[in-house]
Structure 1
Amino acid sequence: MFFYLAFIASGALGGLIAFTQLISALTNPLRAAELPDTLKGLGIDLAAVALFAFLYSREVKAENLQIARLTREETLANLKLRGDEKVVPVSALRGIARLVIVAGPASFILESFRLSQAYTDSLLERGVRVLPLATDGLMPESEMKEDDELTLQKRKKLWQLRPADTPEWSKWLDEQKDLANVSRDSPVYLSLRMDGRVRGSGVGYPPWNAFVAQLPPVKGIWSGLFDGMDGRV
């Protein structure tokens, strides 16, 4: 960005000089022959100023978007959730779990729960933990009917988290929907990387099968090597 400003200043100075030469060439018949070269030089200077001004403005816009995104993620990191009878901030899960927020009416959360059933083991192996956020204020009680106690415990572990302060969570979610031009009534999901940054989001049900295909396990030979590297932010 410093060099962009330097090039803008250089081009502006060159353009100013070329402009004075242009006036001289237009008003002095003895210098009329210099007019084509003067116009060419002025055009180059103006084009350089326009180009580097565009690049500079693009960098400023990208920087502002990055700051805004980091600010929103920091706000998310400070939101509280409840799990295992403890209340902790989302930031406490960094390096431990990949949080998936499922936000919508009770019926949407129940269907998301049902769709995740076939991927329970694989999601747990990848450190995924789900936080259901009922936007209609009716947190559903999932009907966990399994053939054995071990499977039941795995399902509970995957879906054990709850928002500790639902109004604050709802406020944050509404702000994200407004920024993304998504209707506040739309059910959405939001997935975080292992390092706590937002990995992806969308309208509708979470792509459980895609999570299994894309995320590395958190244990075994891959543990540590790919921590936090869960795709582009």
Structure 2
Amino acid sequence: MARIRSEVLSPFRSVRMFFYLAFMASGALGGLIALTQLLPALSNPARAGGAAETLKGLGIDAAAVALFAFLYSRESKAKDAQVARLAREERLSRLKLRAGAGDGSGRPLALGELRGTARLVIVAGPGEFVAESFRRSQPLLRELAERAVLAVPFATDGNAPELRVDEGVVVVVDDDLARRSRRLWQLRPVYTTEWAQWLDDQKKLAGVPPDSPVYLSLRMDGRVRGSGEGYPPWQAFVAQLPPVKGLWSGLLDGMDGRVL
């Protein structure tokens, strides 16, 4: 599936790689022909006059082969990196969540089921880190809810804090918006071993120490748009992400930032 998505996202990559191979083969064939002409010219003084021109052609062919080999190698590495990233995103989309206040109610759902409806921010670290991330988001609950941001707190030490939104923080201007603000921190990971394994793989790939607290910000389509060590930049999310209601609904849905 990851390879198919890679082809869809980069439809002309296979065409480019085919032409690179064709040009490499053409250059290699031209070089072979030039070499067969050069050797007799060097061994026969009577034909030595054309050796310089033949040698020049051989150099051009060799340079062409080297250039297209470099381009092919670069394209192949980019393809492998993209396929690996898409495979990780597919694994992420299969991780399970439960919506609720942490009492075990609510059916588990795959993270991928929230594509197109929410921008998830995974907050992973010790319980104290999760609690502080929650506290820092409080002044911006309304703005984050307008942008369909939902937090996924994952306490890696098993000490999941109780995250209750202070009713005084939520300004009731819109009942639906107030309700979404209160739900912003109500997603809970289930099957936490799978979550821990996925995060460990991500940290290893990024060169991040295994015990470092991190955040990952996902686009509306479920792809990773940003990540880092430390607390999520809630203020930056508000500044960068467009609202998903009113005049802006649908118009800026794709402007979630480039994929990492």
Task: State the TM-score, normalized to the length of structure 2.
Answer: 0.85
- Change in Cα spacing, 1:26 to 1:148, as seen in structure 2 (3 Å) is closer
**Paired residue for 1:67?**
83
Tell me, yes or no, if structure 1 residue 114 matches structure 2 residue 129.
Answer: no
The question of whether the paired residues in 1 share the 8 Å contact of 2:142 and 2:171 is answered with no
How many residues align? The count is 233
- Change in Cα spacing, 1:89 to 1:183, as seen in structure 2 (3 Å) is same
How much has 1:39 moved relative to structure 2? 1.5
**Structure 1 alignment gaps of length 5 or more:** none
The question of whether the paired residues in 1 share the 8 Å contact of 2:147 and 2:244 is answered with yes
Give 1:50-89 correspondences, 5 Å limit: 50-84=66-100, 85-89=106-110
**Separation in 1, partners of 2:18, 2:93:** 33
Give 1:195-210 correspondences, 5 Å limit: 195-210=221-236
Give 1:170-209 correspondences, 5 Å limit: 170-209=196-235
The question of whether the paired residues in 2 share the 8 Å contact of 1:100 and 1:130 is answered with yes
How much has 1:229 moved relative to structure 2? 3.0
Q: SS of 2:221's equivalent?
A: coil
Aligned equivalent of 1:44, options 56, 60, 68: 60
**Separation in 2, partners of 1:169, 1:95:** 22
Give 1:103-142 correspondences, 5 Å limit: 103-142=124-163
Aligned equivalent of 1:11, options 13, 27, 34: 27
**Paired residue for 2:9?**
none
**Structure 2 alignment gaps of length 5 or more:** 1-16, 101-105, 173-177
- Change in Cα spacing, 1:81 to 1:21, as seen in structure 2 (3 Å) is same
**Separation in 1, partners of 2:257, 2:199:** 22
Which of 151-160 and 107-116 deviates more? 151-160
How much has 1:50 moved relative to structure 2? 0.4
**Separation in 2, partners of 1:65, 1:86:** 35
How much has 1:80 moved relative to structure 2? 0.5
Q: Write out per-residue CA displacement over residues 105-163 of structure 1, whole angstroms, 9 at most, x where no aligned residue.
A: 11111111111112111100000000011111111113644437767966531111000
**Paired residue for 2:114?**
93
Task: State the TM-score, normalized to the length of structure 1.
Answer: 0.95
The question of whether the paired residues in 1 share the 8 Å contact of 2:138 and 2:165 is answered with no
**Separation in 2, partners of 1:107, 1:224:** 37
**Paired residue for 2:37?**
21
How much has 1:231 moved relative to structure 2? 1.1
**Separation in 1, partners of 2:119, 2:50:** 68
RMSD: 1.7
The question of whether the paired residues in 1 share the 8 Å contact of 2:96 and 2:111 is answered with yes
**Separation in 1, partners of 2:203, 2:255:** 25
Q: Write out per-residue CA displacement over residues 158-202 of structure 1, whole angstroms, 9 at most, x where no aligned residue.
A: 111000111110111101111111111111100111111111111
**Separation in 2, partners of 1:147, 1:123:** 16
The question of whether the paired residues in 2 share the 8 Å contact of 1:102 and 1:190 is answered with yes
How much has 1:66 moved relative to structure 2? 0.9
- Change in Cα spacing, 1:106 to 1:27, as seen in structure 2 (3 Å) is same
How much has 1:86 moved relative to structure 2? 2.8
